[in-house]
A and B are shown apart, each in its own frame.
Chain A
Amino acid sequence: MTEPMTGTAAPRDNTAPAGDPPGRLPGASRENAVLRQVRDHGVYVAIGVLLLFNLLFTPNFATVGNLRLQLVQVVPVAIVALGMALVVATEGIDLSVGSVMAITAAIIPLYLGYGPWVAVGVGIAAGVVVGAFNGTMVAVFGIQPIIATLGVLVAGRALALVLADGRLVEIFDPSLQSLGNGTLGGVPVTVLIVAALAAVVGVAVRWSIFGRRLVAVGGNRTAARLAGLPVRRTLLVVYVASGALAALAGVVNTARLGASDPSFVGLLIELSAITAVVVGGTPLSGGRIRVVGTLLGALLMQLIAATVIQHDLPDSVARMIQAAIIVVAVYVQRDRGGA
């Protein structure tokens, strides 16, 4: 995983000769077209193939219970990945998401006395604060995103453990339990939350001023600045959104477990989220964002793990398959330089 992550810090390749790009050779453009198809639609095909495989060969796969379980399990990664996609689209990265989840999880029992929604509100506010800190480091002080958020990754979980006194706290709150395990019309509430968030992010990215600026800042920051765009503000908002979404994932996770577990909640989730984003078709070099693809990327990784487990294969097989898919995703997205 370190390879694609360090890739974000590398400068864009601008070494093309000063003149005009020559017309592309027909063979090269055909190859590019194939790669582009894989990049843009590969995750859909992969999900389809995997579902088909499971329907044919996995007993008890196509049951309501199993499908619901798969969706519920992917919720935290999906929420975090939505925020991560925004950050990655600006050619950034947010490693602090797992620690934000831990901070939020640690905060909830502290404020539960004021009512569950106050506790949730404070927990999400903490995510906003951490996101604002990350955004300030990146946008104002120009620190590389991977470094700025790496610091918070380490310090954030330490802070969470201090807040929680290093202990797991069980939570008995009916409101939180209905949030974590309830259903609405047969659909888990948490899945509905993901759907709503995806809709909001999708609309914002496609039609809002902010969304258009976001991809411009990621696609060519200098050009965005010279076009008069508020580059700093855009970056700041992106990291705040990522922090808030990570905090929400922490809330959902705590509610579902019925316990606040700052030692383990969200551990390594940043890697799963980055994987979902990249596999979903958002390149680490920024300038493009795929919201539905990100969700499917998260689901794909979940389904691979589930499939392997249900066929009694060791977990390491799932990881190798996932690794291979990540390599393919990064390969088809590599910046082919030039024009």
Chain B
Amino acid sequence: MNGSDGGPTLEVAGVTKHFDGVQALDGVSLQLRAGRVHALVGENGAGKSTLVKIMTGVHRPDDGEVRSRGAPVDFGAPRDAQAAGISTIYQELNLVGTMSVARNLFLGREPLTRARLIDPTAMNREARVVLSRYGVDVDVRRPLAGFSTGVQQMVAVARAVSTEAQVVIMDEPTSSLEPREVDRLAEVIELLRADGVAVLYVTHKLDEVFRLCQDVTVLRDGRRVFGSQVADTDRLGLVATMLGRRVEDVRAHGVTSFGDADTPAPADHDRDLVPVLRADDLSRRGVLDGVSVAVHRGEVVGLAGLLGSGRTETARAMFGADPLDGGTVAVDGEPQGRRWSPGRAIARGVGLVSEDRKAEGIVPDLSVRDNIVLAALPRLARAGFVSRSRCDAVVDTFVRRLRIKISGPDQRVRELSGGNQQKVLLARMLCLSPRVLLLDEPTRGIDVGAKAEIQALIDELAGNGLGVVLISSELEELVEGATRVFVLRDGAVVGSLAGDAISEHRIMTTIAAAAREDGEDGDGAAPPAVADPEVAG
């Protein structure tokens, strides 16, 4: 609070940015002040990255301006921003793994001898001094890649800070850090504040906002929807803003306004049956921390939580897409071994529709037909050769059933709209006649009509006995669609809700609930269960 007397060190004012007709930022303003840490939060696609890129000279704003110490600046390239004292630590480390720690630390500004050659002795000595300030004690001559991600992250921080930075931008700096290293980072940030550096801290972890930051700005759909001092902000309000809700609305609508009419309550006898897909104690270092989830026939199980809470990772682990450190996945009560893989999952009737349609879903240059039948090829073939007529029959069925708008089955998938691409991916899984579907953000980024159709389809499929795991950032989708909701935070299930107990308010309070012993040990905290499904259901 004492650093806010002068003007802002760096400021963006009314910045607007379009990409190919998509509005990424719409009149966003934000001020970074010396000695203060400013949190920038928002869900996927809110515009955080674009804003960071404008502040660091990667993009130019279409409208509005960037001001450094009150004077308008025009960063044509990242080095202009660096020259203005703006240093960035990207989420994906921009370091050279094969070079030594010291070389990385001084890359591009190495200490030189009189002959204008790099002076390795001086460089290594200075590197040790700089790193010791961050509590890193390693052999600085060894290649960076040989050290843990935490050490690499610290080198990135040290590198950014040692460039005489006035402003340090950290893009999700803790995503690859251990709890102990997060504590160290917190100390480093305190040092920066003491030095009068202005910090922009991009994150989606609420605990860090309240622990490390003094100011907070929330972006949603490219707009600044909230800005305040952290001291004046409450957790529930922040969660609500990030998810596009007003706390008053949620409170007014009460706890039980949803979940009665649309969704059939889970049939009681299903409770006694073996879940069709069950995950027990899934663990993966730094990502999942003992997650257990079960799906029964005809049940829609929602996974709620903010970005990075472990929702996607849970679904991918249940599908065998990522390696695990511990935990088991069981189909029909039968535990699957360590060789659980997407191929095996599909063979056992488990399907996944990924959240990243373009990178992990469609094969863009293949036809609609080839994309739909991709996973079902062996079933549609005789003696290794694909039967065109069987494929066409399957494609025809699903194009009609899902109302996929195409000019013909030979149309390339990249030419379709997002909603139709999503339907193609659903068809790819549905034509396998699965018994469980894991749907990760199935309605994100698609038009309203397609969205409603997909929601109705999920209801219908569950009514026919399919088990569904539904991941969604849109709370009303979980409230109206799911028969049971698990709430995740920091890779662990922190609560579960069932039946009438599922409400937007309850989901948000569960997300917002602070870990009991904030920052003390970080692993033993008992999750504050909001409602026990056995009681509530």
Contacts and interface: CB of A to CB of B under 8 A. Distances in A.
Contact of B374 (A17, A20, A212): A212
Contact of A227 (B19, B21, B374, B414): B374
A22 B341 CA distance: 35
Contact of A223 (B344, B347, B363): B363
B385 A207 contact: yes
A216 B370 contact: yes
A159 B239 CA distance: 66
Contacts of B360: 220, 222-223, 226
Nearest to B375: A227
Interface string B377-421: 110010011101000000000000000000000000011011100
Interface string B165-178: 00000000000000
A221 B22 CA distance: 28
Contact of B346 (A20, A207, A227, A287): A227
Contacts of A216: 363, 366, 370, 374
Interface residues of B, number: 47
A208 B388 CA distance: 10
A219 B414 CA distance: 11
Contacts of B373: 212
Given A18-B445, A226-B321, A227-B428, A212 B24 contact: no
A210 B384 contact: yes
Given A19-B45, A287-B366, A223 B385 contact: no
A193 interface: no
A219 B375 contact: no
Contact of B375 (A14, A208, A229, A287): A229
A16 B22 CA distance: 11
B254 interface: no
B352 interface: yes
A20 B321 contact: no
B42 to A, nearest CB: 12
A209 B381 contact: yes
A35 to B, nearest CB: 14
A22 B352 CA distance: 26
Contact of B24 (A17, A209, A339): A17
Interface in B242-294: none
Contacts of A290: none
Contacts of B92: none
Contacts of A222: 359-360
Contacts of A212: 370, 373-374, 377, 386
Interface in A86-119: none
B343 interface: yes
A224 B319 CA distance: 14
A22 B20 contact: yes
B435 to A, nearest CB: 15
A215 interface: yes
B445 A223 contact: no
Given A228-B342, A229-B374, A220 B364 contact: yes
Which of A20, A212, A228: most chain B CB closer than 10 A?
A228
B149 interface: no
B338 interface: no
A219 B374 CA distance: 12
B362 A220 contact: yes
B342 A227 contact: yes
Interface size class of A (residues with CB under 8 A): 20 to 34
Given A17-B19, A207-B386, A208-B385, A339 B377 contact: no
A338 B446 CA distance: 16
A20 B445 contact: yes
Contacts of B342: 225-228
Interface in B313-358: 319, 321, 341-347, 352, 354, 358
A157 interface: no
A78 B333 CA distance: 54
B347 to A, nearest CB: 7
B460 interface: no
B44 A215 contact: no
A132 to B, nearest CB: 20
A224 B359 CA distance: 11
B361 interface: yes
Nearest to B388: A207
B365 interface: yes
B244 to A, nearest CB: 16
A27 interface: no
B493 to A, nearest CB: 24
A228 B354 CA distance: 13
B346 A228 contact: yes
B185 to A, nearest CB: 27
A117 B445 CA distance: 61
A209 B365 contact: no
B377 A209 contact: yes
B44 A18 contact: yes
A314 interface: no
Contacts of B415: 339
Contacts of A220: 359-364
B347 A228 contact: yes
A209 B385 contact: yes
A227 B22 CA distance: 30
B414 A339 contact: yes
Contact of B45 (A18, A210, A225, A339): A18
A21 interface: yes
A19 B22 contact: yes
A226 B438 CA distance: 12
Interface string B12-24: 0000000111101
Nearest to A231: B343
Contacts of A225: 321, 342
Which of A20, A225, A226: most chain B CB closer than 10 A?
A226
A228 B345 contact: yes
A209 B385 CA distance: 6
A161 to B, nearest CB: 33
Contacts of A22: 20-22
Contact of A219 (B366, B386, B388, B428): B366
Contacts of B370: 212, 215-216
A222 B354 CA distance: 10
Nearest to A217: B363
Contacts of A209: 377-378, 381, 384-386
A1 B254 CA distance: 67
Interface string A33-54: 0000000000000000000000
Contacts of B445: 18-20
Closest 10 CB pairs of A and B: A228-B346, A20-B418, A219-B363, A227-B375, A22-B21, A18-B45, A228-B343, A220-B363, A209-B377, A228-B342
Given A20-B418, A21-B418, A228-B344, 15 more contacts: A17-B24, A22-B20, A22-B21, A207-B385, A207-B386, A208-B384, A209-B385, A219-B366, A220-B364, A224-B363, A224-B374, A226-B354, A287-B364, A287-B366, A339-B415
21 contacts: A17-B24, A18-B44, A19-B22, A208-B386, A209-B381, A209-B385, A212-B377, A215-B365, A216-B366, A216-B370, A219-B365, A220-B360, A222-B359, A224-B363, A224-B374, A226-B342, A226-B360, A227-B342, A228-B345, A287-B363, A288-B365
Interface of B: 19-22, 24, 44-45, 319, 321, 341-347, 352, 354, 358-366, 370, 373-375, 377-378, 381, 384-386, 388, 414-415, 417-419, 428, 445-447
Interface of A: 14, 16-22, 207-210, 212-213, 215-216, 219-220, 222-230, 287-288, 338-339
